[in-house]
Amino acid sequence: MLFGLICNRNSAYAEPPKTFHFIKKGMIILMKICIVGLGLIGGSFAKAIKQNTNHLVYGINRSEKTALKALDCGAIDKVATPEQMNECKLIILAITPDAAIEFVKKHAELISPETVVLDCCGIKRTVCNELNFVAQEHNFVFLGGHPMAGKEHSGFDHSTPKLFSNASMILTPTTEKAENASVQLESLFNEIGFGKVVVTTPDEHDKIVAYTSQLAHIASNAYIKSPTAEKHRGFSAGSFRDLTRVAYLDENMWSELFLNNKDNLLNELNFLIDRLNEYKTVLENEDREQLTELLRDGKEKKLKSN
């Protein structure tokens, strides 16, 4: 069972229980949560959980220096080892897709059947396909997830407990156990600031995120390469800042995300190129009427998307 012992707010425990349950006001829930990867997303999860709940947070990180920094500032309660994950009811994977798959495969035997493993990767099909199989083989629950929040700067130093404020938490359960876990964990996401929980399929997630996130990063990254960008100071305002903000990215992580979602991203990229060529053609032909129509159509589509 995922749920269990309920504790009064004033109770003191030397060792918090492994089980958890969301209950009415005036009561607290104690759960051990392990966060793998203490960068921007993992660090923000840790800080948000510590600030807004009574759960105990374990941290596993490739860099011991970062893990100790998280411990020193109170973002985590313990620097953990993979062997200690079996104490936890929730494991949050805040690392890249390839790293998440490798980590779980390597340590699957250390994960308790009572544990939910939640990933935070920006693509879902590859991760869900791989880790669903591992979860079924080792009898724990895997739940695909993607917090729709971020910054142009990465790393623990840029993490904040407010990162998820009013953001969407996307969940992609593909088994009955994962569906149950998504319902049970919704209260935790609400507690730490998420504005809504969106449940969808891995396929639908990857298709939409190719447009809302991945294409935006490519467009921004390509736009900033104009030689004119070096002369923008004094000539730029909100439009330039908005369009170039996500050009500053982690090239290794985003390359991995793009390639794992190549089919959907190419569809969106080809569509954008076709639309840009329409503007290019009417400008070359000095067709003011058609140019005005293209601009009006874009404005109207923006209004409908709000």
User: DSSP string spanning 196-229?
Assistant: EEEE--HHHHHHHHIIIIIHHHHHHHHHTTSGGG
Give the residue from 103, 101, 139, 105 showing the smallest Cα distance to 123. 101
The SS3 assignment for 23 reads coil
What's the rounded Cα separation, in Å, for the pair 124 and 183?
Answer: 19
Angle formed at CA 157 by CA 151 and CA 158, multiple of 5 degrees: 15
Q: Record the tokens describing residue 242, joined without a space.
A: 């908005």
The number of beta carbons lying within 10 Å of the beta carbon of residue 287 is: 13
What pLDDT score does 18 carry? Answer: 36
What pLDDT score does 24 carry? Answer: 34
What's the rounded Cα separation, in Å, for the pair 60 and 104?
Answer: 13
* Cβ contact 131:101 at 8 Å: yes
Per-residue pLDDT of 28-53, as tens digits, reads 558 999 999 999 999 999 999 999 99
Residue 142 backbone phi and psi in degrees, to 5: -110, 135
What pLDDT score does 3 carry? Answer: 30
> What is the identity of the amino acid at 157?
D
Q: Record the tokens describing residue 144, joined without a space.
A: 């695909």
Give the residue from 101, 94, 140 showing the smallest Cα distance to 121. 94
Per-residue pLDDT of 252-292, as tens digits, reads 999 999 999 999 999 999 999 999 999 999 999 999 999 99
Q: Which long-range contacts (CB under 8 A, 24 or more apart) does 264-272 make?
A: 264/206, 264/207, 264/209, 264/210, 264/214, 265/210, 265/214, 265/215, 265/218, 267/210, 268/210, 268/211, 268/214, 268/215, 269/215, 269/218, 272/215, 272/219
Q: Which domains does the chain have, with CATH numbers?
A: 7-200 (3.40.50.720), 205-305 (1.10.3660.10)
Mean pLDDT by 10 residues, the chain (306 residues): 29 33 46 97 97 96 95 96 95 97 98 97 97 97 96 90 96 96 95 96 98 96 92 82 90 96 98 98 97 96 89
What pLDDT score does 29 carry? Answer: 53
What pLDDT score does 25 carry? Answer: 39
What pLDDT score does 306 carry? Answer: 80
What's the rounded Cα separation, in Å, for the pair 182 and 92?
Answer: 13
